[in-house]
Amino acid sequence: MSDYILTYTKTRFYPLRPIVEDIRIEDIAHSLSLMTRANGHFKHFYSVAQHAINCYKEAKSRGCSKRIQLGCLLHDASESYISDLTRPVKGQLSEYFIIEEKLQSLIYEKYGLGDLTEEEKHQIKDVDDALLYFEFIELMGIPVFDIPPEKHMEHNFSQRDFVNVESEFIYIFNRLTQEQRGFSSVGIDGCRAGWVAVNITKEGFEVELYKSIVEICSKYSDSDSILVDMPIGLPESIDEIRPDAEARKIIAGRSSCIFNTPCRQSVYTEDYFEASSINKQVLGKGLSKQSFAICNNIREIDELLEKVPEFKEKIKESHPEICFAMLQSTGPYKEPIYESKHTEEGQYARFTVLEQYYDRAADFVQYIHGHPRLSKISEDCIDALCLAVTGMLGIKNGFRTVPEKPMCDSRGILMQMVCAE
């Protein structure tokens, strides 16, 4: 490893001979979120990623172009591969500046900023210097310039959880680069291994297994649609109505596949019998073992939405069986697929529906059946694809919700199931 580093995504990266294909935003965001500003001498941990996010927000508040906003977010990205040096030391190492400039230029080039003008570079540096000044005022109590720079908004200099900072960094990046990427529709389903996610774009599809919902949502935070087959929005009293009962009416004959959603109090209880007892006290009915079995997944999403509120408007609950019924029916009456998804007949019936809307459905099925891990959860992969296709159609034609006018839970999360028109 004398000439390369191993990055967060297990990429062998050669800092002295970088190539653009090895640059990954996941590596940049993760590294910068763990890397401290001021060489660790601030009064508490404050990361380079948090600094970059604040620079982006300052640029946005000043009315700067999206190019400048993206440049501010990425202006320290080279540090994720070569770290940083204190200014007195850096000034004695002229070769470092050459390495840094080459790498930073390559990063800018990869993300559409290779043609930054001198004026644009000046705007980015002006924002960077402004944040430097106010960071030292807040975290050191010392001004670093004689004349305070302008500031167009108040910034968060508190100690933040690095996972949330990393997620926000990628979320902002994806939002700023959306036009370059084209449409993206993600379907997510819980499975034995954790989660399976399918992303479809105009170029093709991706399907991968993940250990956590945070990984998926960080990677696809600015997708046009993220639909997940898991309850989102939890009741804490009998007066807060979930869409479960109305959804069962849509797929009469297959209604047993929609479990009763636990109350939030039960979701955060580890013991089944205690959780069931709490659910009966709060909602008037006990908790089935099937519902309790997915409580960890439900809690994972609920915690994410609490920590990263921006995702409340982004991640939507859906249900594959409702989506299949909608996709294969043209009239007012919806006919579910009666064959079990765990059988070959059931999977073929679902594939037949999907290939009417997605021209790479056959390639998808062939891919997962040839994959050593995905082939073991092929039914979950097909469900995730169904949600991704539903999202793709919703992007084009609009979405509808079950119920039509959903309630919010106590945390302001809509309790609804989403499907495409």
Tell me what pLDDT residue 9 has: 86
Q: Are strands 315-317 and 205-210 parallel, antiparallel or unpaired?
A: unpaired
Q: Are 59 and 69 in contact (CB under 8 A)?
A: yes
Identify the pLDDT of residue 158: 96
256-261: which pairs have CB atoms within 8 A and are 24 or more residues apart?
A: 257/321, 258/319, 258/321, 259/288, 259/290, 259/291, 259/294, 260/285, 260/287, 260/288, 260/291, 261/231, 261/234, 261/235, 261/291, 261/298
Specify the residue for token string 């700023």: 176
Chain-centroid distance, C-alpha 149: 34
Q: Look at residue 384 in the predicted model and tell me its pLDDT.
A: 97
Which residue, 161, 183, 218, 168, is CA-closest to 55?
168
The residue extents of the domains of the chain are 5-165, 182-257+305-420, 260-293
Q: What CATH superfamily is the domain 5-165?
A: Hypothetical protein af1432 (1.10.3210.10)
The single residue listed with the structure tokens 């190539």 is 19
The amino acid present at 29, given as its one-letter code, is A
Mean pLDDT of each 10-residue bin along the chain, 421 residues long: 87 93 92 96 97 97 96 98 90 90 96 95 97 97 94 95 88 80 88 93 89 90 91 96 92 86 96 96 94 94 91 92 86 77 91 93 93 93 96 89 93 93 75
For the domain spanning 182-257+305-420, the CATH number is 3.30.420
